[in-house]
Chain A
Amino acid sequence: MKTAIQITAFLMLILISSCNKDFLNEPPKNLYASSIVWSDPALAQTTINQMYKDLGLPHSAISISQFCDEAWQCWNWGTGDFLKSNITSDNIPAWDAVHDGALQWNRLYKAIRGSNVFLENVDQIKFSDNALHDGKTMKQRMKGEVFFLRAQFYHYLVSEYGSVPIITKSLTTTDSLHFARNTYEECINFIIQDLDSAADNLPNVQFQSGENYGRVTKGAALTSKSRVLLYAASDLHNPDLNASLTSGYSNPEYLGYVRNDAKVRWQKAYEAAKAVMDLGIYSLKSGSAPYDQLYTSLFLAPNTSSEDIWIKLDIAKDNAGWVHDHYYITAAPNGYNGWGGPQPTSEMADSYEMTDGSKPNWNNPSFVAAPFTNRDPRFYSTFFYEGSSWRQRPDATKVADPFNKIQIGYVGYLEGGVFTPLVPGVDTRQGPSSSWNGTFTGYNLKKYLDPAYTVDNYDAKQPNYFRWMRYSEVLLNRAEAAIELGLLGDASKFTEAQSLINQVRKRIGMPPVVETGFALRDRYRNERKVELAFEEHRFWDIRRWMIAEQVVGTSSKELKLRYIVNKTDDIKLNGVPSYRKADGTTWTTPTYLLEESGTVIRSWDKKAYFLPIMRDEVNKNVGKLIQNPGY
């Protein structure tokens, strides 16, 4: 009895004593309350890191080069539909994979919100370190980065969609959330304003430079300004030239300028590039032959040079997912156990001139006799082509190729006009490795792959850098503005343009261009295509130049190679039919067939110059948000 009461009392006591008021106020253990974040400079800095992440990752199994005429995506994860302009406001094929999805409308606006929140809260943070580093305080530097990044997010939006609503504050659910698009001109002005703020706040170099390398600097802000103004001045946004797009469209001010003052805009772009040059801290990396090695080294980790303005440092360390961390595997030819994801088109490869500056010509017998000799040195560092040397083959294919030379052709015989392959090259779609990863164009992409990196299994995380901005672009941006000013009447600018282009050509040993007028513009455009290949320029360039119809509006050709032997020939090596002879040479000289590709089929609809705003987003804005033409 006594015990009963004692035990009861004891248990009730436990229960009741624990039921204090704070019992349920369990603070989170795996999250930071925002009040903590906005009182600590270190955490605030970490939110900027997120904004860098919000740019997404350029190198992956899918890249923006596969959405234009640079490359074909091996497995056609929707890129083929994009290239057929099968784009609707319900589905932009594969676009959600570009930059890991970062270039989508919603994602970019989410990133913009992050920068707005930062800019609203940064002034309440007490910085203990108010010293100047390279002329700027810690707070200035952080603000400068965020201004830059916000401008970059808007730059992507404007480049994809034309004008968009400009949102500069962090919204809450109680705000009015429906917005109309600003004009294109307002958007560009806003971006330039942010970039000016960024340039004012950012140091020339990042202090404690070791640790902060890869963060943006004043040079990056000025380069971005140069790019934004160049794009804005281009044909696509020029009311004199884009009528085919804007006619019949209710809001041409969303797609470009409405004032006919192209010359003023080219002048601004011309000066913006100069501002970067005037910093005096960047120069092209120079060297001597072999120039292909010089060019290759520009892109491989851990190299950096005076040419680099802003680098996305080692993508393999981002932990952003397998296809991002393992670029090497996704890009290497299938005979190297790779996926051969980006497959440069034959048209891309044919843009690379001969060392004498002439154009490759498949109708010219002497060219066909040796198409891969005496090419622009950049050709050799950009492409895997038949017979190009690479590092040792992995276990699975070293039997088939002891010579470590890319095999994109077939050894076989002709009978009654029908070619029967006896030995398919290891890198073809009938190779012994993962054949669905074989090339459809005759080429694989070599740029960014490091021959010194020898891990070839699925754990291979080759250090992988990407140049967001490098000095070649600045020179070419200025050259382009000069040419356009030249075409608008100031012929003296052609000479300056030639000299800028020739700076870029000279350092890899290519002869100078001497043309003027439209011929110069053609040479320039080809130079930009080649120098900045696979660096995320071409996609935007073919749009703003409005040449997409010509370059992706047609089907593509596949380069096929055959080594034709007699049916009875002994083509064995160590008792095994072999692709090459014991001395490494081929059984016969190759027969090249440049044929219409059955796979790389593309077509162009002018609506695709701009992406559609998603139907849901238009609907959500109840009539305020006007769709782009054609959707």
Chain B
Amino acid sequence: MKKYFKDSDVLSWNLLRKLFLIMKLVLLILTTTTLSLFAISTYSQSARVTVELKNVSVKEVLKAIESSSEFFFIYNNELIDVDRKVNINAKDQKISEILNTLFKADEVAVSVIDRKIVLSPAYMSSQQQKTSGTITDSTNGEAIIGANVVIEGTSIGVVTDVNGKFSLDISKPDAILVITFLGYIPSHVTVGTQSVLNVKLVPDIKKLDEIVVIGYGTQKKATLTGSVSTVKGNDIASIPVANVTNMLAGHVPGLIAYSNSSEPGNDKASLLIRGQNTLGDNSPLIVVDGIANREFEHIDPNDIESMSVLKDASAAIYGAQAANGVILITTKRGKLGKPMISLTLNQGFNTPTRLPKLADAYNYASMVNEIYPDTYSPDAIQKFQDGTDPLHYPNTNWYKATIKTWSVQKNANFTVNGGSENLKYLISFGAKYNDGVYKSSASDYTQYNFRSNIDGKINKFINIAFDVAGRQENTNTPNSDIYTVFRSIVRGRPTMIATWPNGEPGPATEGGAQSVIITTDQPGYSHRINYILESNLKLNIAIPGVKGLSLTTNASFDKNFSNQKNWSVPYNLYNWDGTTLDPNNQPILTPAQYGSPLPSLGQSVSDGKNITLNALLNYNVRIANKHDIKIMAGSERHTYDNFWLSANRGNFLSPALSQMFAGAKDLLMTNDGSEESNARLNYFGRVNYNFSEKYLVEFVWRYDGSYKFPTNSQFGFFPGISLGYRISEENFFKNNISFINNLKFRGSWGQTGNDRIKDYQFLSTYAFNDYSAVFGSTPAAYKALYENVIPNRNITWELADQRNIGLEGAVFNNKLSFEVDYFNNKRNQILIQKNASIPGMAGLTLPPENYGKVSNIGFDGSITYQDHIGDFRYLFSFNLTHNKNKIVFWDETPGVDPWQQTTGHPIGGDLYYQADGIFHTQAEADEFNAKYKGKGVIPNDGVVPGDIRFLDVNNDDIIDGKDRMRDFKSQIPTLTGGLNINFGYKNFDLGILLQGASGAVAYVDNFEAGLMGNYLQEYADNRWTTANLNSDYPRTWDRTNMYWTQNRNTFWLKSTDYVRLKSVELGYSTGEKTNKALGINGLRIYVNGFNLLTADKLGIYDPEGAAANGQFYIYPMNKTINAGIKLTF
């Protein structure tokens, strides 16, 4: 028995078992290392250090202690004066002794907990009459150490201890406590008569001191002048989908993400930054941990710290690859502190959001009779309708027969994170499994991944970081492709039986493509395994002698191996003669063999490597405490090489061994292979200047060299400049408009390039045709060489001119924050082939020329409001992106009618005949025939009632190609947005993401319906017939035999606007008491969902998936329900 029924339970246990094994191993390693690393932490205050410093601030002394011990300090520099200059000369002294010399005992109180030393004003510690309580993080219930608890209007207050506890004497019962902590929204609490006061602080997600990752560096959000949107890894990691690209829709203003398929392993969403800007490749540059062109869709979302989207001139530092925007992904790194272990387990269930509804057997048979009369007898039609004889007259729903209701997905992650001052580490392991939607599915995706990000301090000057990450991605599919599978479902006529009562598959449709069986691994399989190994060694060297000067070098080496194996074996489908029954009255079936007559095998391997080396020189200086200057200059080189080999053999004697050696050495034994490589070399830099963080200037540039261009013009220069003005930092503003906490104007201009074209367009080249020419008295295939392209020796980059104006701010104690950007992008020198104007008779295979111009104008923005009412916390965050592009200039065929021209209109429109309802009556048809019969696309035998009326747009009494009008909507939405809603109450939290898109269309192609395939139920139910004269739907058609199914027309063009509940999550986090009782740091249990509800006009299939041109013959989009647990200890 061949294994084709996959037991997902067994698999899940295997997965878990493997994971636990890995965990055990990691724990073992960790225990050993922690023992040696953190044995230190037990020696408490007896630790001795040597600190000898003259005329330095207290702060620096504390830092010196931190760096030569395992301790670190927690204090509020507004309450403790650490800028005071001191001299200290301590040799091998106890820390407590040093602290005693630094601070007077009656001013500063010192308390030591583990390795944390908390410094607080002595008056705050002088506790008297007690009102006590705990301050915790509202999201995870963790104690907040060092929060300030001050009685409003006084200077009386305390700092919370290591357990987040405080205790304070309150004299007035109406006193209000103001609780503040960096990174959290301040909380005001009326004490009243309470003696115990527990307060949860809500994290301030829009904090101004947030550090934003930008190209080759980081910057404070406050002083950022470019248009950069960020999203935290934690915010998206909760979305229960396997592919990171699918987590982004609705989260980031300016980023348009739409998904076409939920097929396990092939479920990448398309990403566009601010829509389409060019007629060519619009995909953004992806940079992972500073290394360009890494793949990020399969990164474990638990590893992602943040993502930054560079939308404007700030991307210019990436020069020639930046014109479509840049997405920077930064992974998590180790944090100072004892090892924090977290374990996340998720179990989810997928089901298609929507499957097309197809006609039932009765309707189908009736419709076939309308086009080919008497194909089904009245008796047969009756039996299809009443279902009394399902063996002879079945009524099959092929979707139901092929697709199961729920398929499993699961993932698990195990992360250890911690470190000392000298060595910090983050180690993460993950595994995920995603099953296909087919019954006895041969389709699934399994991934194992690990990451180890290590930061070390070699000495005072040198920091080192070594990152290594690996993934194994196993994608299994049946050996029929998606197109074949879903085509066979839609082509599956409901009048055919899918599965016989004994479980055997029903008879073949054409070529044996019977969807029930070709979705299993019975006919063979296609297995792909990708191995990805990414590494980077980073050195950061503070140049001694020059304060603020440092050199950073990166050496990254990434490998990518891929193995593909396609195995085909014969399989049986079963026919019944319609009569013969066995003694149990079950049909006696005859097998018929389909598929590969003898087993055959194809295997291929590819081996790719990316090497990126760069060096960055950074110089930061602050002059007169007002002028901040940051200068960075760098150089980078990148090489890529990939080769592949493939081999095939057929005519295996036995299906038992699917190994190459076992195949026959005959004509089917073939092999193939090739290699490609490329190289880039760049120089780049950035200068930042700000005056008191009020006036901000940034200049970036890149001198970019690419192998894609001829020797004398390989380099291009790409500058970008941006300015910012924080009016809220002006005194007049601060003093007068205090409710506005932050207000910044910014603007940018930059030029970036796009070189995403085929290689070697500047060379005259010849390529081998995939076809062969056959000669010889024993015919054999000979190669054929054709002119690949005529060269364009002047080829150069597409040039993007990007302008952006932005406004960002925060009001009401940062409760309401907003950010809005207006952009005006012009893309020049767009590389297009002049096929529209150069006559075909020139016979040229044209290279792209720098010819086209596109403008793209729009806005994106977000607004967030967050606050809490007692224990009830809430956040609303809304973002919107709108863009409108326009082809300013390109190659337009001369003499094209105005209504068909593309210049001056958006990219991607298509030509359609204008459908104007249907002919309801013979009179209507006759009137039309009198004028148009036999002219243009109207058939010589004329139209009949039920046909679709085409408009004679140019009134020339003939309906031909000139009557097609261009519809300027494409499959890409022009308006997208998301609304994030978060509620929290005590230990519960609820997150909702509503996401929508508008402005896209789909052409609903049901044109294999007829004798060969089934009709959509909507068309079947509403079709025009003599009994349904008033219908607005056309009569029954057979494939593309009608002028209105053959010629693209607006009848079938549908809007795909939608709003959907993209994700929702309900969680419960244990409180501190429970954590303590369990001896853990936190436990969170949650249920969440993806794509749960959709509102749209299309209705037929998923409107988001409709963005693909594959129409019905695509893998459906999933909705997901998932439950998970995250344990931290």
A residues in contact (CB < 8 Å) with B: 1, 3-4, 7-8, 11-12, 14-15, 18-19, 23-26, 28-35, 37, 43, 46-47, 49-50, 52-53, 75-78, 80-81, 84-86, 88-91, 93, 105-106, 109-114, 116-117, 164-165, 167, 170-173, 175, 177-179, 209-215, 301-302, 304, 312-315, 317-320, 329, 337, 339, 394-396, 399-400, 420-421, 429-430, 432-437, 455, 457-459, 463, 572, 574-577, 598-599, 601, 603, 605, 614-617, 619-622, 625
Contact = CB atoms under 8 A, between A and B. Distances in A.
Contacts of B458: 3
B551 interface: yes
B837 interface: yes
Contacts of A399: 575, 577, 590
Contact of A171 (B613, B674, B782, B844): B844
Interface in B1014-1046: 1039-1041, 1043, 1046
Interface string B866-897: 00000000000000000000000000011110
A518 to B, nearest CB: 30
A14 B615 CA distance: 10
B183 interface: no
A433 B770 CA distance: 34
A277 B869 CA distance: 104
20 contacts: A8-B541, A15-B613, A15-B615, A24-B680, A86-B937, A171-B844, A172-B790, A177-B838, A178-B839, A317-B779, A319-B771, A396-B508, A429-B375, A435-B1011, A457-B593, A459-B597, A576-B578, A599-B372, A616-B836, A622-B894
B637 interface: yes
A34 B679 CA distance: 22
Nearest to A20: B681
Contact of B769 (A53, A616, A622): A53
B1012 A436 contact: yes
A113 B597 CA distance: 43
Contact of B767 (A32, A52, A90): A32
Contacts of A433: 508
B1080 interface: no
Contacts of A37: 766, 785
A31 B840 contact: no
Contacts of B1011: 429, 435-436
B377 interface: yes
Contacts of B896: 619
B25 interface: no
A364 B780 CA distance: 51
Given A32-B765, A32-B785, A19 B681 contact: yes
B934 A209 contact: no
Contacts, number: 339
A577 B594 contact: no
A89 B961 contact: yes
Contacts of A84: 939-941
A211 B777 CA distance: 6
Nearest 5 A/B pairs, CB to CB: A90-B961, A113-B843, A395-B592, A106-B840, A49-B773
Given A78-B1040, A177-B838, A420 B377 contact: yes
Given A11-B555, A24-B707, A457 B597 contact: yes
Interface string B926-967: 000000001011111100000000000000000011101000
B1086 interface: no
B577 A12 contact: no
Contacts of A93: 1046
B779 A24 contact: no
Nearest to A326: B511
Nearest to B709: A24
A91 B961 contact: yes
Interface string B534-572: 000001010010000001010100000000000000000
B1095 interface: no
A37 B766 CA distance: 8
Given A33-B765, A90-B964, A113-B843, 5 more contacts: A1-B461, A50-B769, A86-B940, A605-B934, A622-B894
Interface in B571-613: 573, 575, 577-580, 590-597, 613
A214 B555 contact: no
Nearest to B714: A24
B764 interface: yes
A314 B696 CA distance: 73
Given A28-B760, A49-B785, A50-B784, A400 B577 contact: yes
B598 to A, nearest CB: 9
Given A88-B961, A319-B772, A432-B507, A173 B790 contact: yes
A458 B514 CA distance: 13
A319 B511 CA distance: 19
B1026 to A, nearest CB: 17
Contacts of B613: 11, 14-15, 18
A455 B594 CA distance: 11
B763 A28 contact: yes
B56 interface: no
Contact of A47 (B592, B680, B785, B939): B785
Nearest to A602: B940
B129 interface: no
A301 B781 CA distance: 16
Contacts of A52: 773, 784
Interface string B484-511: 0000000000000000000000011111
A329 B706 CA distance: 49
Contacts of A317: 772, 774, 779-781
Contacts of A396: 507-508, 573, 575, 592
Contacts of B35: none
Nearest to A621: B839
A337 B512 CA distance: 9
Interface in B667-688: 674-681
A36 to B, nearest CB: 8
Contacts of B575: 395-396, 399, 432
B894 A43 contact: no
A394 B895 CA distance: 56
A85 B677 contact: no
A313 B597 contact: no
A109 B841 contact: yes
A457 B577 contact: no
Contacts of B595: 457-458
B539 A7 contact: yes
B462 A25 contact: no
Contacts of B759: 28
Given A8-B551, A85-B940, A46 B765 contact: no
Q: Max chain A CB contacts within 10 Å: which of B575, B593, B934, B940?
A: B940
A76 B841 contact: no
Interface string B1085-1110: 00000000000000000000000000
Contacts of A3: 458-459, 462
A132 B20 CA distance: 77
B210 interface: no
A287 to B, nearest CB: 21
A109 B843 contact: yes
B635 interface: yes
Contacts of A33: 763-766
B877 to A, nearest CB: 43
Given A34-B765, A622-B895, A458 B511 contact: yes
A620 B785 contact: no
A161 to B, nearest CB: 11
B682 to A, nearest CB: 10
Contacts of B770: 319
